[in-house]
Amino acid sequence: MNASEKCPVCQMETPCDQLKTYHMVCPGCAYHYPLDPAQRIASLVDGDSFTPFPGEFAATNPIELQGYAEKVLQNQAQTSLKEAVVTGTCRIEGQAIVLGVMSFQFMGGSMGSVVGEKITQAMYHAVLHRLPVVLFTASGGARMQEGIFSLMQMAKTASAVALMGKTRTPLFIVLTHPTTGGVTASFAMLGDVIIAEPGALIGFAGPRVIEGTLHQQLPPGFQRSEFQMEKGFLDAIVHRDDLRSTLAFLIKTHPVPSSRTTGHTTDHTDNRTDSRTATPQPGGPNAR
Ligand SMILES: [Zn+2]
């Protein structure tokens, strides 16, 4: 296969196999091509250490919107994904973590009941098993096809982040292009450390909507990672080549305190030494 990709920014054509060795970053201008969850996981984790959480949730049609069920099926067929986020456990440089990767290809990475529930359960798993969480976001926001139920996911995921905070379970967010709407307005901006890939669009409403509302021309680079970094919304912009080593460093330097230290579970063993067999404890962090 000698197919090539044309960079949408500098128009440089790069053979696909070569682009893969560059982690899908344009050698001409460092444009970061979007990655699907499988590519992201392959580029990030130790070998084949990624294990998806068992059991899949199926999207329902809570407001009985015509055509929604078909649209979900169509997106499943196109992306080979069940929903707009993949969650599981893996290792980065030997360190166990909970990982979540959103897919913009699946209905614009929109957060419906299933996405919200999977992210929440991933966080609960991390709290119970004393593991840090790394979440890659890519989303157009709440899934409007689920009406109010999609908006409720914002409160639910934000509550799960609050529980992580109370139990001192680290949350590392990596914002990728684009992260907007209800995802930005909930868990994506609540990480202990918030990283972005270069050039990612990060905001609530999109620039065209804001321009139309304000009747003002927006400054160059508005809502891009570099702009948000300058405005203090981000901790770092990290080139994809350095992402694995940066996350490994952050995980190492933010050890998860044992449950004894946080006092938020009745488990008297140190789960960190045996995280795979730890089980939810009655009266633990979930029992509120
Ligand atoms: Zn380029």
Cα of 177 vs centre of ligand 1, distance in Å, is 15
What the block records as the tokens of 104 is 């913009």
- pLDDT at site 286: 42
Q: Per residue in 155-177, pLDDT tens?
A: 999 999 999 999 999 999 999 99
Q: Per residue in 36-63, pLDDT tens?
A: 999 999 999 999 999 999 988 888 999 9
CATH 3.90.226.10 matches 34-274: yes
Give CA separation, 245 vs 32, 132, 137, in Å: 17, 16, 19
What the block records as the tokens of 24 is 């899908």
* All residues with CB under 5 Å from ion ligand 1: 7, 9-10, 12, 26, 28-29, 31
Cα of 232 vs centre of ligand 1, distance in Å, is 27
Q: Where are the domains of the chain?
A: 1-33, 34-274
Cis peptide before 178 (omega within 30 of 0): yes
Cα of 11 vs centre of ligand 1, distance in Å, is 6
Cα of 20 vs centre of ligand 1, distance in Å, is 14
Q: Per residue in 184-206, pLDDT tens?
A: 999 999 999 999 999 999 999 98
Cα of 73 vs centre of ligand 1, distance in Å, is 34
- pLDDT at site 259: 78
**pLDDT value at 258 more than 90:** no
pTM for the full model?
0.89
- pLDDT at site 284: 44
